[in-house]
Amino acid sequence: MCGIVAYVGPQQAYPILIKGLKRLEYRGYDSAGIALLNSKLNIFKTKGKVSELEKLVKDADLRGTIGIAHTRWATHGEPNNENAHPHFSQSKSIALIHNGIIENYASLRKELESRGYVFQSSTDTEVLTNLIEDIQINEGVDLLEAVRIALNQVIGAYAIVVMSHDDNDTLIAARKGSPLVIGIGIDEYFVASDASPIIEYTKNVVYLDNEEVALIRRNKDLKIKTIRNKDKTPYIQELEMNLDALEKGGYEHFMLKEIHEQPHSIQDSMRGRLHAELGAITLGGILDYEQKLINASKITIVACGTSWHAGLVGEYLFEDLARIPVEVEYASEFRYRNPIICEKDIIIAISQSGETADTLAAIELAKSKGATILGICNVVGSSIARVTHAGIYTHAGPEIGVASTKAFTSQVAVLTLMALRLAQLKGTIPKTRFNQLLNELELIPEKVQQTLKGSKKVLEIAEKFKDVRNFLYLGRGYNFPVALEGALKLKEISYIHAEGYPAAEMKHGPIALIDEQMPVVVIATNKGTYEKVISNIQEVKARKGVVIAIVTEGDLAVKGMADYTIEIPETEEMFVPLLATIPLQKLSYHIAVMRGCNVDQPRNLAKSVTVE
């Protein structure tokens, strides 16, 4: 959701900025723009993709060694040329790009209008741009000070970069809520919403903290202060990411690459943590919080979307293994309720991006009530990773496809390790069973590899059902979250309506939808409520529904009833989500490709949802 890139240094800025915008395309956007300073400050912007922007500037003067660029995901105002960023201030003396939302923009705009400002767009961003200019003029302060004063008047979330037409050497960047990273090269600086546009130039970065403003000057040291005017020392970190992770590596789409990376990404999530041969699990990130976990009276998991589905698997795991009550909450609901949280509670916040606005707000709420917050994040250094008391990185590597795939299985792998470790600490699991589960968990990456081989069958099913309008996904127990996740994957990338349901709930409503046209995907693996799920399949068949079943290798009972079956390897019931999700990801992928959809950047969606 919205991407920022900026550069100042000895190189030409345009190629760096445009490449950076392309690296950020995965975040989701609907317009793009760039500002460059040579003899004058020029802005080029257009609705549509970065490729449209490239066409627009084909014959323009693109010289300049300082510039800012942006991809916008519309919040205030439709996605058109006027609302695209960068925005000029009224006198065209400054240009600004912004991610986030200025909540009090309407009153600020009114005030500025009363002082003669005329707005070219309907964005909150242009309001901030003019506010900064107004402060500069009326208070006679430099750009840094004007930005700092303006941000003290702003309510909301922002990551901004500002440049001025009369200073070829300076960028001002600031953040609150939305992320911002500053890359430090040799005599040059890069600014971006995440590290992906920076990684090929430098590994040394500074993550700005909330309410910090950075003064970034050519050939000068980076200076940071808070918006309350307190100096801060920049903390330089080294990026662990490598460039290959940001390329498609021969795959047609990032999503397909990421689906196929899962044997490794799951392995990476467990590396150094799972020691089956020693009968041990070490979770360094939360070691200091183990006693709090043992003493906790309940765990609340907060997350959104796919991460929420992973949380639901977590609920089953923690209750099953560690015998502790767990609630899984949509962060967006939790933050506006008056939830009952006490100091002994543990909150687990799950987020691939670590930037989801609702999840961040849920964390702040729980924190204010004294709870201990543990994070499960993929993006190192992300906002959620930084505001939680402690946490565990999933180490799945960058996920570029908007549809979450490897992040989900890595989140489930980490939750599995946490639940097993807590069970061990609390003594709720016999040692032999614990060791047995650890040995099986160690085999999961290999079993995911085997699961990925069953592609032919999935392709055949995709071909058959690519044109239907509705799908139903059913599962029980550990397979219920898998059904939800399968349905979400299909709808977000193929735009086919799909619903996930607990299989037994079908007869309380959705059964009315079933006819010969309605494919019903049933996760019917051979443990837990297997017999019950077989009854649910019979109920579908009795109404002439078409059943696509995910079954355990060698299954005969379901095979005899279902129209199509996809086999996955045998495993413990609690590990089935790590396998059963894979063919559902592939089914969605192939259907979406066959329907000609933009798989990696589905319409209207953003990779990290940084506004509520």
Catalytic residues: 2, 607
Given a contact cutoff of 8 angstroms between Cβ atoms, the answer to whether 565 and 538 are in contact is no
CB-wise, 64 or 177, nearer to ligand M6R? 177
Per-residue contact track with ligand M6R, 173 to 202, x per CB under 6 A?
------------------------------
Instruction: Supply the minimum distance, in Å, between the C-beta of residue 475 and ligand M6R.
Output: 18
- Please work out the total of residues on this chain that contact ligand M6R, with binding judged by CB under 6 A: 17
Decide if 263 contacts 448 (C-beta within 8 A). Answer: yes
As measured in angstroms, the least distance from the Cβ of 79 to ligand M6R is: 19
Q: According to the binding rule CB under 6 A, does residue 494 interact with ligand M6R?
A: no
Pick the piece of the chain touching ligand M6R (CB under 6 A) from 62-70, 81-89, 402-410, 581-589: 402-410
Q: Is 394 a binder of ligand M6R (CB under 6 A)?
A: no
Minimum distance, C-beta of residue 258 to ligand M6R, in the bound complex (Å): 11
The C-alpha atoms of residue 375 and residue 363 are separated, in whole angstroms, by: 9
Q: Is the peptide bond before 86 cis (omega within 30 degrees of 0)?
A: yes
Single residue of 46, 129, 306, 332 touching ligand M6R by CB under 6 A: 306
| Stretch of residues binding ligand M6R (CB under 6 A), selected from 58-66, 290-298, 301-309, 582-590 | 301-309
- Find the shortest distance in angstroms from Cβ 304 to ligand M6R: 4
Residue type (1 letter), 154: V
Q: Pick the stretch among 102-110, 170-178, 305-313, 555-563 that binds ligand M6R (CB under 6 A).
A: 305-313
One residue of 383, 404, 409, 552 binding ligand M6R per CB under 6 A: 404
Do the beta carbons of residue 41 and residue 92 sit within 8 Å? yes
Segment contacting ligand M6R by CB under 6 A, of 272-280, 294-302, 400-408, 533-541 = 400-408
Strand 372-377, strand 346-351: pairing: parallel
Burial 116-145 (b: 16+ CB within 10 A, else e): ebebebebbbbbbbbbbbbbbeeeeeebbb
Cβ proximity to ligand M6R, 112 vs 400, nearer residue: 400
HEC string for 265-289? HHHHHHCCCEEHHHCEECCHHHHHH
Closest distance between ligand M6R and the C-beta of residue 536, in Å? 26
Q: What's the sign of the alpha-carbon dihedral 349, 528, 481, 553?
A: positive
Q: What x/- string results for residues 573 through 612 when contact with ligand M6R is judged by CB under 6 A?
A: --------------------------------x--xx---
Instruction: State which of positions 49-108 bind ligand M6R (CB under 6 A).
Output: none
Rounded to an integer, what distance in angstroms lies between the CA atom of residue 14 and that of residue 3? 16
Measured from the CB of residue 147, what is the shortest distance to ligand M6R in angstroms?
A: 28
Map the footprint of ligand M6R across residues 331-390, applying CB under 6 A: 351-353, 356, 359
The answer to whether 580 and 449 have CB atoms below 8 angstroms apart is no
Which phi and psi angles does 402 have, rounded to 5°? -60, -35
36 alpha carbon, distance to own chain's centre: 30
Which span (25-33, 59-67, 224-232, 304-312) binds ligand M6R, by CB under 6 A?
A: 304-312
Shortest Cβ distance from residue 75 to ligand M6R (Å)?
16
CA–CA separation, 50 and 47 (whole Å): 9
Nearer to ligand M6R, 491 or 527 (CB): 491
- The residue among 45 and 607 lying less far from ligand M6R, judged by its C-beta, is 607
Residue span binding ligand M6R (CB under 6 A) among the ranges 18-26, 298-306, 313-321, 532-540: 298-306
As a whole number of angstroms, the distance between CA 130 and CA 154 comes to: 13
Residue nearest to ligand M6R (CB): 305
Contact 29, 239 (CB under 8 A): no
Alpha helices in 430-471 (DSSP H): 431-452, 455-465
Report the largest interatomic distance among the alpha carbons of the chain, rounded to a whole angstrom: 81
Pick 188 or 600: Cβ nearer ligand M6R? 600
Residue whose CB is less far from ligand M6R, 90 or 306:
306
CA dist., res. 117 & res. 469, Å (int): 50
The length of the chain in residues reads 612
Applying CB under 6 A, which of residues 65, 178, 300, 307 lies at the interface with ligand M6R? 307
CA distance 542 to 559: 16
Please list every residue from 14 through 33 that binds ligand M6R, using CB under 6 A.
none
Strands 326-330 and 299-303: parallel
- Pick from 210, 170, 168, 176: nearest CA to 189: 170
Which of residues 67 and 100 has its CB atom nearest to ligand M6R in the complex? Answer: 100
> Out of 492, 499, 555, 600, which residue is the one contacting ligand M6R (CB under 6 A)?
492
Question: Is the CB of 305 or the CB of 519 nearer to ligand M6R?
Answer: 305
Q: Rule CB under 6 A: choose which of 285, 305, 569, 583 binds ligand M6R.
A: 305
Quick one: 64 or 381, whose CB is closer to ligand M6R? Answer: 381
CA-wise closest residue to 171 among 47, 7, 332: 7
Q: Is 403 in the site for ligand M6R (CB under 6 A)?
A: yes
The long-range contacts involving 553-562, CB below 8 angstroms and separated by at least 24 positions, are: 555/524, 555/526, 558/522, 558/524, 558/534, 561/534, 561/537, 562/522, 562/524, 562/537
Q: Which parts of this chain interact with ligand M6R (CB under 6 A)?
A: 304-307, 351-353, 356, 359, 402-404, 488, 492, 605, 608-609
